[in-house]
Amino acid sequence: MLLNPDLENKAACQNSFDTFFSIKDIAFWQLNNHTSNVELPTLQRTFVWRPNQIEELWDSLLRGFPIGSFLLSQTGKSLYLLDGQQRATAIALGFYNPWTSNQNERFWSLRNVPSLWIDLAPQVKTLNQRFVPRLITRSHPWGYQRKDNKSALTVSEKRKALFLLRKHESNSEGGYTKFDLKNVFPYDCDISVPLSFLLEAVVSNDHSWKEHLFLKCENLLPTKIIKSKDSDEDYLVKLQRALDSSDVDVFFNGIKRLVDFKVPAIVIESKVLQNDSDENESGENPTLFVRLNSSGTHIGGEELIYSIYKSIFPDSKRLIEHIGRTFILSSLVVSIVSRIAYSEITNGDYPAAMSVNEFRSRIAKTSLKGKMQNLIGEEIENSPIKLLFDKAFDILQGGAVGVNVPPILIRNIVNGNPDLLLILLWWLKSNPEKPSKDEQRAMIGGIMAIGWFCKDVKKYVRQVWPHINEEKFWTKELFSRKNMANAPFMPYLVDPGMLFSFLRNEVTEKKVEWHNLLPEEEDELYHTYINLSYYKDLSSDAIRDRINDMWSNFISKLIWNRSLLIFAQRDYIREQFEDYDRFESLEDTNVPWDWDHIYPSEWVYGKQNVDPNIRHWNNTIGNLRALALEQNRSEGNGKSPKERLEDAHKDSFICSNDWEYWKDITARVYRDDREMVTSYLNAVVTRIYNIYSEWYTTFNMGGN
């Protein structure tokens, strides 16, 4: 919608004015960008709404609820959207039609555009919706639960949905995260149609909208595979029956209301956005943007810092996106680069993460701005910081040392603990020569160990930062740094053989339960702890307390660590899920595999006469494996470990020493069957040892 001359003249003499946009106008800001005069400012953040928020916005629109106003600034004939990006993009998704090949869509900040459907005849009411919009995304090509749209489908429902989707020829091979949106549908529904089909049918074909909608679905949808979760009845038969019912009139009325629905907007003068700092810098002033985003949908400090940076260097966005590759978000890249630059300014001091106000204050000074500009550079090929990030990511992937670490492990570690990436980058920057293979192996193992076992990674990195230029920094001594109370940040990484001996003796032979699983003075493990330097000059009670604390921290982090399991199954993960990309523009973190219980959880939970040790160890990595949904043949969760693993040793990381016990478990184990309880515990403990040992020996964690 173009502003009329009267309003434009009014804008020339006042600070702001009001105008209104139709829903279609708003959608076409992105879908018909070649004619739209509305753009997104450089400093705007990415799209952060979750799928349920998109669905709920459309439920509100169809019910005639108000959705707030937009805030824009005007420069000439162009309008820049300052507040309302999330709502505007969600509105555009309702009109997005992946079947229309000539549609010139250009979503502002969505890389993997989802598709929005709507259920015409929901038999089950949702928790908070009258209409039932259904979003399908790259990692949820079957949609979300109808009754609770914040929750994913159950594993069983995903398998059934995948079985249907695989019937389409284009979905028969490859990972499901690459399915074409034209060949998928929301599974947990009754009679769903693309919302764009319904909108077009009602708006353009008032009296014959039902016929138009039916033909559109018949000609474009994969109707042969679309089934509701509770019926195998032909989709087109069900669709026609729904359209013949007067119940669908509510959709007609809701969409007709949308035709006249207007969203208010406040348009302010462009000079409000101009930077008016003391340095007379040009570009957009992020102050208004920061304040607008202090409420509403949460936006983190890193995102705000990234927006401030873009306001100063608007041409850097594309380069920043290349630096992070698929491992970290652009906002985290800028945060880390700002910290490296600040450490350079302070002669190598540890650079704590900056608050928004700290960044704004420091970037206003020439020193930080110049350092960041020099690090990032102007060209992708010659960016110093990109070359540094590339070197770090290449090392962490392990190719040079023949390990091939799954990318998801790298993403999880560096995003969960950015300080670990920071210290690796700083070390590489300080040591420009290519590290040896032994050093690279030590780096990978060290980063994993700290990320997985350390009590407080931020404090730990701050503690070791002054020692980063010491010779042989990446050695096991890295893990023995102590805090101010002379206690270690890292638990002692127990030798796998010693761990195995202790667990076999305590768990499988003595049947010690979890809450009592502590080293005693007669155990070799206890004496190994005593010999560590942490315990000098302590009383016997203090020594025992510290040993118990260190052991408990280690064993707890070990047995629940599914990342260790992914590492052990890395060949299978890379082969089966090569196309998996953790990051979508939507906040969507579904993984394309099931965490399958080798000994069925159905045989444990809610059951009587279950041995307490079986109950405890059942959810540990010793009883789990990553398994592709379509490979999970245990529907009903009733197959025994022997049946599950018989033909899956390599993929499931089953070794001969734990298979020796798994093969004996052919049925549910009862408390009084002591021999089978022992077989179960032996199987789980041996598998935990195998998984831990695979990582420990691969990276020589016991070496110097």
Q: Are residues 542 and 469 in the same domain?
A: no
Is residue 336 within 8 A of residue 327, CB to CB? The reply is no
> Do 116 and 170 lie in a common domain?
yes
Q: Check residue 603 and report its DSSP letter.
A: G
- DSSP state letter for 595: E
Task: Check whether residue 459 and residue 509 sit in a common domain.
Answer: no
Q: What is the pLDDT of residue 622?
A: 97
pLDDT at 9: 37
> What percentage of the chain carries pLDDT values higher than 70?
88
Q: How many domains does the chain have?
A: 4
* Token reading at 681: 């515990």
287, part of any domain: no
pLDDT tens for each residue of 204-221: 887 899 999 999 999 999
Position 590 scores a pLDDT of 67
> What's residue 489's pLDDT?
74
Q: Which of 196, 41, 228, 19 is nearest to 105 (CA)?
A: 196
For residue 298, what pLDDT is reported?
Answer: 52
Q: Among 511, 539, 559, which residue terminates a domain?
A: 559
Q: Has residue 489 been placed in a domain?
A: no
Task: Flag whether 703 is in a domain.
Answer: no
The token duo for 556 is 């707890």
Asked if the structure places residue 268 within a domain, the reply is: no
The predicted pLDDT at position 684 comes to 98
Residues of the chain with pLDDT under 70: 1-17, 101-105, 127, 271-300, 481-488, 533, 581-590, 632-637, 704
Give a yes or no: residue 136 inside a domain: yes
| Same domain? 37 vs 174 | yes
User: Which of 259, 287, 310 marks a domain boundary?
Assistant: 259
Same domain, yes or no, for 232 and 355? no
Q: Provide the pLDDT for residue 2.
A: 38
What pLDDT is recorded for position 3? 41
Distance CA 309, CA 175 (A): 37
For the record, the structure tokens of 593 come out as: 């595999």
pLDDT recorded at residue 542: 86
Predicted TM-score (pTM) of the model is: 0.85
Q: Can you say whether the dihedral through the CA atoms of 643, 646, 650, 655 is positive or negative?
A: positive
Q: Which residues contact 121 (CB under 8 A, 6 or more apart)?
A: 190, 191, 238, 242, 245, 247, 248
Q: Are residues 445 and 501 in the same domain?
A: no
Distance of CA 267 to the CA centre of its chain: 36
Q: Residues, the chain, total?
A: 704
In the chain, what is the greatest distance between 2 CA atoms, to the nearest angstrom?
A: 90
Q: How many CA atoms lie within 13 A of 353 on its CB side?
A: 19
**Angle, helices 540-559/437-453, rounded to nearest 10 degrees:** 100
Range of the domain at 550: 496-559
Q: Residue 266 is inside which H or E element, if any?
A: strand 262-269
pLDDT 10s digits, 247-300: 999 999 999 999 889 999 999 877 666 655 444 344 556 666 666 665 555 556
16 and 155 housed in the same domain: yes
Same domain, 439 and 568: no
CA distance 564 to 458: 22
Tokens 């041996």 sit at which residue?
686
Q: Give a three-class secondary structure readout of 338-358.
A: HHHHHHHHCCCCCCCCCCHHH
Structure tokens that stand for 561 in this block: 């660590």
β-pair partners for 284: 274
Q: Does some domain include residue 273? A: no
474 in the same domain as 362: yes
> Given CA atoms 660, 666, 671, 676 in this order, what sign does their dihedral have?
negative
- Answer with the one of 449, 480, 511 that is the final residue of a domain: 480
Contact 215, 239 (CB under 8 A): no
Say if 196 falls within a structural domain. Answer: yes
Please say whether the beta carbons of 95 and 122 come within 8 A: no
Assess whether 141 and 49 both reside in one domain: yes
Domain co-membership, 457 together with 536: no
Residues 476 and 523 in one domain: no
**Encoding tokens for residue 553?**
């921290």
In a domain, 683, yes or no: yes
pLDDT at residue 300, as a whole number: 63
Q: Quick one: CA dihedral 308, 313, 319, 323, positive or negative? A: negative
| DSSP letter (8 states) at residue 228 | B
